[in-house]
Amino acid sequence: MTLGYSKDGFLKLPTPLERLEGISRDTGVDFWIKRDDLTDPGMGGNKLRKLEYFIHDALDKKSTLLLTTGAPQTNHGRLTAAVAAKYGMKCAIVSIADHSGEISGNILLDRMMGAEVFIKRPEPGISDGSLLSETLAKITRDYENQGEKVYFVPMGGSSELGILGYYDCAKELALQIKNKSINVPKIFCAVGSMGTYMGLFCGIKNENIQMDLTGIAIAPFPSEPAVWARRYFKKIKGFYGNRINISASEKDFDINHDWTYGAYNNPVSEVREAIYYMARREAIILDPCYTGKTFNGILKMIDSGLIDKNQTVIFIHTGGNPGINSLPHRAEMESDLKAGFKIF
């Protein structure tokens, strides 16, 4: 396989690179957004770039069903369901969670697109990781007994194969920057399972592209993010051998983890304020789990001087909008916004 080669697929590319005039004026920063929320099928988002690689691998292996895993409101699961629908395949999404049973946000869309959703409650005496492995194995066996050929897409699509979607994105962005004569930019993206960040990192360094990259963690990491990133990078480099001909030490990875607010997908008033600001200034909708936290982190870094006023910033909008329609976010937003809503 050629590195950074994107097969002609279902993605709407290149995604727009737009200057945000209002936010640039307010902040004094030359502020741009890369609209990877508009990659299209299934309401779009970053995971489609990764899934383009997985679907071709799955088709090569004559698979009939895409199986994946994530949190109940996984955007990656929803986009796996979208790709499965487009290619006439089945899809199943598995989570381990104490869930209310609410069919909203991404889960509603998963079901609309025909995916089966399995949420297994945690069990005492067994770790969530072990329970997930057991559950995935059982569900795979059940489908195989029904004659399906199951293809497993890893969580977040963040494997050696999946990261190539964002290797491509770095090249796409480099061309747009050249065509628009933009100064050397600082790129910001959310960091969850880290595939988006790592794909961009490998693309930028391996293709010798003039850009700085900062990831903003949206949940706490089990160890220093840079240590984690270096380990992940070594795995990828090992996989691609001399096709990734760069080396990297921990100091090469810039991942900020000051704005996680201590948990994954938690409702945070400052994050909602950042979401309302983007919506009211630029009519662009962010989500509370990933892009809202990331944008909030960027604003805080501008306020504290960590981002220079004359800097060119490109914020990668990685999608995730269906999350605004899930609890507890929807309830918090309804409460915040009820003042301007009148029935009479």
Ligand X SMILES: Cc1ncc(COP(=O)(O)O)c(C=O)c1O
Question: Contact with ligand X (CB under 6 A): which of 15, 73, 193, 311?
Answer: 193
Give me the 34-53 binding string for ligand X, x by CB under 6 A, dash otherwise.
-----------xx-------
Cβ-based nearer residue to ligand X, 30 or 172? 172
Phi, psi of 209 (to 5 degrees): -90, 140
CA distance 257 to 223: 11
Residues 129-168 that bind ligand X (CB under 6 A): 156, 158
Beta carbons of 38 and 16 less than 8 angstroms apart: yes
Helix (H, G, I), strand (E, B) or coil at 202: helix
Cβ-based nearer residue to ligand X, 27 or 46? 46
Beta carbons of 240 and 208 less than 8 angstroms apart: no
Question: Contact with ligand X (CB under 6 A): which of 319, 322, 326, 329?
Answer: 319
- Rg of the chain over all Cα atoms, to the nearest angstrom: 20
Contacts of 226 (CB under 8 A, 6+ apart): 250, 251, 253, 254, 255
CA distance 342 to 340: 6
Measured from the Cβ of residue 291, the count of other Cβ atoms closer than 10 Å reads 33
Cβ-based nearer residue to ligand X, 312 or 318? 318
Q: Does 120 participate in binding ligand X (rule CB under 6 A)?
A: no
Q: Does 195 participate in binding ligand X (rule CB under 6 A)?
A: yes
**Least Å distance between CB 29 and ligand X?**
21
**Least Å distance between CB 35 and ligand X?**
13
**Least Å distance between CB 20 and ligand X?**
18
Q: Does 68 participate in binding ligand X (rule CB under 6 A)?
A: no
Tokens of 188: 């910001």
Q: Which of 10, 14, 8 is nearest to 36 (CA)?
A: 14
Phi, psi of 159 (to 5 degrees): -95, -175
**Least Å distance between CB 91 and ligand X?**
16
Burial of 7 (0-12, 13-18, 19+ CB in 10 A): exposed
Q: Does 320 participate in binding ligand X (rule CB under 6 A)?
A: yes
Contacts of 271 (CB under 8 A, 6+ apart): 261, 288, 292, 293, 296
Cβ-based nearer residue to ligand X, 46 or 311? 46
Beta carbons of 175 and 208 less than 8 angstroms apart: no
Residues 260-289 that bind ligand X (CB under 6 A): 287
Question: Contact with ligand X (CB under 6 A): which of 177, 318, 322, 326?
Answer: 318
Q: Which residue is nearest to ligand X (CB)?
A: 320
Q: How many residues bind ligand X (CB under 6 A)?
A: 20
Question: Contact with ligand X (CB under 6 A): which of 33, 187, 191, 219?
Answer: 191
**Least Å distance between CB 17 and ligand X?**
17
Cβ-based nearer residue to ligand X, 185 or 192? 192
Tokens of 73: 């409101």
Cβ-based nearer residue to ligand X, 191 or 202? 191
Residues 71-90 that bind ligand X (CB under 6 A): 75-76
- Where does this chain touch ligand X (CB under 6 A) — which range of 2-10, 57-65, 194-202, 224-232? 194-202
Q: Chain-centre distance of CA 109, in angstroms?
A: 17
The amino acid present at 121, given as its one-letter code, is R
**Least Å distance between CB 332 and ligand X?**
18
CA distance 20 to 14: 18
Question: Contact with ligand X (CB under 6 A): which of 93, 109, 194, 324?
Answer: 194
**Least Å distance between CB 215 and ligand X?**
8
Q: Does 188 participate in binding ligand X (rule CB under 6 A)?
A: no
How far CA 209 is from CA of 159, 175, 203, in Å, comes to: 23, 10, 8
Binding site for ligand X (CB under 6 A): 45-46, 75-76, 156, 158, 190-197, 287, 290-291, 318-320
